[in-house]
Structure 1
Amino acid sequence: MTQVYLNGAFMAPADATISPMDRGFLFADGIYEVIPAYNGVLFRFEEHLIRLERSLAEVDIRNPHSRAQWRERCEQLLRANGGGNLSVYLQVTRGAAEKRDHAFPSPAVTPTVFMMTNPIAIPAADSPETAVGARAITLDDIRWARCDIKSVSLLPNSLLRQQAVAAGASEAILLRDGFVTEGSASNVFIAKAGTIATPPKSHAILGGITRDLVVELCHQHGLALEEREITEMQLRQADEIWITSSTKEVVPVIQLNNAIIGNGMPGPLWKALAHHYVQHKRRLCGLDAPNAHD
């Protein structure tokens, strides 16, 4: 990463500074998005921007840019960092006020806008026949009641993810009142007896862009899918478990806590979905074009 974006200017990361009075720093008063780009092409950009707009509206932060302006800045940042396969992280906070006060500044201050890129590792779905799968653990969902807002207030998520890492796992699948909500940084799918299921959208989960694409692809290709509540027992007895996110796409989970899922290998439904996902991505991002960067 050679360039970041901060409040209208592109600069080296070391030159990007914000006020200590910024409410994102003091209160985690802000929202964010992570948009993948393949071959320099933003993937599901409109869907990410719709979610960005919704999150901003839910916390009453003024959207500082139009969709066209957001796209222009994202594409310029991608070019400044070499293009290819990168994720764009963008964050909008309420801005810096003159004094620390829980109440919003009145009159409103100018939002702070920060953007950066990170390389995207090769996802498991790109090589379904050689993918080895991931390990997850279950933990109680200790987060707040508005997980549908993509807030920068991620301390509970970080604590949960760290518990997973300390246990030798890559993700924590969260349970609330005996039902699956989502992962610490992912949505959750299960498959049982040929039918795929994922928890319905609610305030308890973030409406994942990749989650929604997986739902769309299942419907398009005749894979049986239900959006319904999933109990802890149904999770434990699943034939397959998947976790989804914008940068990791669709990852098979082959071990939950100390139990092997299925036969301990990525399952057939995941392989079918992975094929459809990769084909969709390649079409949208021109990855089959001459000189495309895989």
Structure 2
Amino acid sequence: MKTPETQELQSFSVSQMGGLLLAYLRRNTREAADHQGHRSFHYYPTGVEGILEFEILPIWNGNAGTEPLNRLRHLFNDAITLLNREDLIRPDLSQSSSREFFQLTSRGESVQIRSNWELRLMKSTTDVIEMVRPSVLHLVAYDQNDDPANGTCFIIDGNHLLTCKHNLDLQRWEIHFPTGQQISGDRFVVHPHPTRDLAILSLREPEDAVLFKGLSPLLLGHSTLISPGDTLIAFGYPDIPSRYPIQLHVDGIYQGTTRYYNNDPYVTMSNPVQGGYSGGPVLSLYGEVVAVTTQSTGRGDDTNGAGIERSVHNHGTPIEEIFTMLQSV
């Protein structure tokens, strides 16, 4: 099992500390089960606190001082609370009436832990939808005849949006917020990806950031963290007859990564998306964006002169394509 460096440990979040704690629990849990079939943890003589004392503190910088050490202890306790709340561990009352000993639940055994120790907690489809919907915004582009075409963008931090470059190719465009407010494209700085069909939008004026109040950025994952057969959920504003724009989501299955055009990788999915989903997020059941709906390679495109594709999309650009861009925006 990888051991974190002292510098890495000092910057851990609660979920990262929880991931490290869960990894130690897995490694040292006996195979024996109690009468209810729960695996129990009995390795450390002082219960789960022993992980802090015997595993984590020895790699901590002993010269860090009292205040950082107390912060580490608080972080560790918060991680225990997180794991217990998420039903990844539960108090083992057969060992003690206190909260010193914990059992690893079946959910704790199946949860994925990233290489940097951050927990990936599986969510239900309903949970993902409720979490994501407010942060997926309607992009409307207008051609020279002022005919509209739908597109999608989503929040990736306090004042940045992500979409497809081709959504911005028309005469003008604007972003519509859940509150009913809208903002024109000329109030954004466009940062196009040099080779992929992606663009980051940054607000020109700090006062416009009030439009994002109460809206959370989506968690960016990595397409290599999903496996063929995993459920994916795509969000967008499809081109369907309606008086008002409707945000929809469609479920599908991750089919693998394929390469097209300049040998660029694409996430292939069975989600039956259509025109208007372009620029929308594709999420795993861990609530992470793993791709951006970009294009269809399976059917001919019918743009109707609008620039935004009106065809079935079953490919997305891996989200990690924007990581380098984010460092310079």
So what's the TM-score if we normalise by structure 2? 0.23
The structure whose RCO (Cα within 8 Å, separation 6+) is larger is 1
